[in-house]
Amino acid sequence: MDKIQLKNMEFYAYHGVLPEENRLGQSFKVDMELFLNLAPAGQTDDLTLSINYAEAYKLVKRIVEEEQYKLIEALAERIAQDALDTWTQLEEVLVKLVKPNPPIAGHYDYVAVEIRRKRS
């Protein structure tokens, strides 16, 4: 299936279970893959038959920066559901939400959740 990818979008926000995460904030990174048939847009050069990736970026930015969640699982779910609700031509969405520096003692690259949701 065809897809549009937005990779490594970075935002500063206030999500987390710990009070200091909500007070101090931290960096979050988001990857999103939008699965849909891109043939009609490619054949006609008509943006209305695709998904405007600038609008997809704005959707993610608004949710990550303006809303607040304890769990990155809930944040990823909200992004996926909003994408499906916004674009009727979207058949499936994959959201990876990365928390590069969570308050966990130890050595690791990052923690992340990845969810895939399909239109029902």
The 10s digit of each residue's pLDDT in 78-119 is 999 999 999 999 999 999 999 998 888 898 889 999 999 999
What's the number of domains the chain is made of?
Answer: 1
Whichever domain contains 29, its CATH number is: 3.30.1130.10
Torsion of CA 9, 14, 16, 18, to 10 degrees: 150
Place of tokens 């935002």: 11
Q: Which domain holds residue 103?
A: 3-118
Torsion of CA 21, 25, 31, 36, to 10 degrees: 90
pLDDT digits (tens, 9 = 90+) for 10-69: 999 999 999 999 999 999 999 999 999 999 999 999 999 999 999 999 999 999 999 999
3-class DSSP assignment, residue 62: helix
Q: Which residues are catalytic?
A: 99
Q: How many degrees, rounded to 5, is the angle at CA 87 between CA 90 and CA 57?
A: 100
